[in-house]
Amino acid sequence: MTGFASLVAGFGAAVDLPGGARRRYVNMDHAASTPPFLSVLEHIAGLAPSYGNVHRGRGWSSQVSTRAYEEAREDVRRFVGAGARQLVVFTRNTTESINHIAARLPVRAGDVIISTVTEHHSNDLPWRRIAPVVRAGIDASGRVDEHQLLDLLTAHRGRIAALAVSAASNVTGAVNPVHQWAAWAHSCGAPIVVDAAQLAPHRPLDVRDPDDAGHLDYVVFSAHKMYAPFGVGVLVAPRRVLEQGAPWQAGGGTVDIVDEQDVAWTSSPERDEAGTPCVLGAVALAEAMHQMRRLGYDAMRAHEDRLAGQLRRTLADIEGVRLYGPRDGDRLGVVAFNVAGVPHGLAAAVLADEFGIGTRSGCFCAHQYVKALLGIGPEESRALARRIAAGDRRDVPGMVRASLGLCSVPEDVERLADGVRAIAEGRFAAGYELDPASGEYRFPTTAPVS
């Protein structure tokens, strides 16, 4: 049975492997991006003939597109449970959304950002530009050390610009209790910024009313992880913040009037949507949300949990395979692992080239978390940085990540297990070629073609 898979574009596609075989492609890289729902493709194809630029245009295409674009904004608002005191801004992706917040967030001298070592770089690097970042570490299970997080919030009470955290890890799939953390932050006088890019395709989002102690002040996520990969991100933020001051990006659509010296910025959210927006991308995201509602998060989660349990059990039973991250609690279908004696890049290459399985290897834009899970200390980290700066990426640390989606089926897990078992037993082509500059392995040119 294909189940949900029949609703997603590309399921069942066959690919030619370097060794000459042809196999059905197995997508185990959903944590990076998801393919589109078929309903999304149909929906934007239906709108495309009437596409036009939004706002201020009096022509038919502009009116149709403006209406569709603003309806998409309202769909997103309902999807996350935002009210009148919260605004929805469309961006290019989660990274841009967080940079928007970092540029618009009120920050005073002496303020700090509280965060964790588990964050994606998109929820780390922008904050370094505006204030010192103080991070909670991880506990023995690989989850955020909540005792340390609460201690940091308490110690910096009254001078915290924001608590910036992920709703779920893109490395291990660990789901975080962000509403509880929000209540802690608010009790210390700080807003919370939640990177929900990894969680949104798997769990319902609820920013809650601003009067609720556990409400989420800022929430960001991306359409490309929600079966609508057409270049749209979402920023949900307090109206009172976005309606103050100049926008992060200035340009067309952000003003009411301009003269030689002065600018009158327009109202939000248009103030923070400089230039021509990705109208079809916003509409695609709204349709993906409608499809998720039709399917139901409970049914989607049950599907994922069954496959994730099968995946973790199967990999754990293979000798020489080590899984990373928590073994229990709420987790998404994201599994990070290594095979003893086999570099992560080589393992991922074998899975792709000989088994037709798409995974991802490396540090997944979460270097601090991956290094913590691997036990890499500061001295080894500095040595690695020196070698990489010199153009040598042969020893870049990392893991292999397999991540499930709605188009995953039990046969995919079985094939991945077969591939990992073969790698652990050394049953793969000899002579894979390592490129020192990229750290990537290439299928051996001397391997026989089957």
Position 450 scores a pLDDT of: 47
287 in Cβ contact with 228 (< 8 Å): yes
Distance CA 385, CA 413 (A): 35
Give start and end residues of each alpha helix (H) in 296-366: 297-316, 344-355
Query: Which H or E element spans position 417?
Result: helix 410-424
Pairing type for strands 112-116 and 133-136 reads parallel
Q: Is 365 a catalytic residue?
A: yes
Task: Select from 11, 2, 3 the least CA-distant residue to 30.
Answer: 11
Domains and CATH numbers, the chain: 3-37+296-442 (3.90.1150.10), 51-293 (3.40.640.10)
Position 56 scores a pLDDT of: 83
Position 446 scores a pLDDT of: 72
Pairing type for strands 399-403 and 334-339 reads antiparallel
Position 376 scores a pLDDT of: 94
**pTM here?**
0.95
Q: Which of the residues 188, 278, 363, 365 is marked catalytic?
A: 365
pLDDT in tens, 43-71: 999 999 999 999 888 899 999 999 999 99
Give start and end residues of each alpha helix (H) in 164-244: 178-187, 239-242
Position 447 scores a pLDDT of: 63
Query: Which H or E element spans position 16?
Result: strand 14-16
Position 57 scores a pLDDT of: 83
In which residue ranges of the chain is pLDDT below 70?
Answer: 1-2, 447-450
Position 101 scores a pLDDT of: 97
Position 58 scores a pLDDT of: 86
415 in Cβ contact with 13 (< 8 Å): no
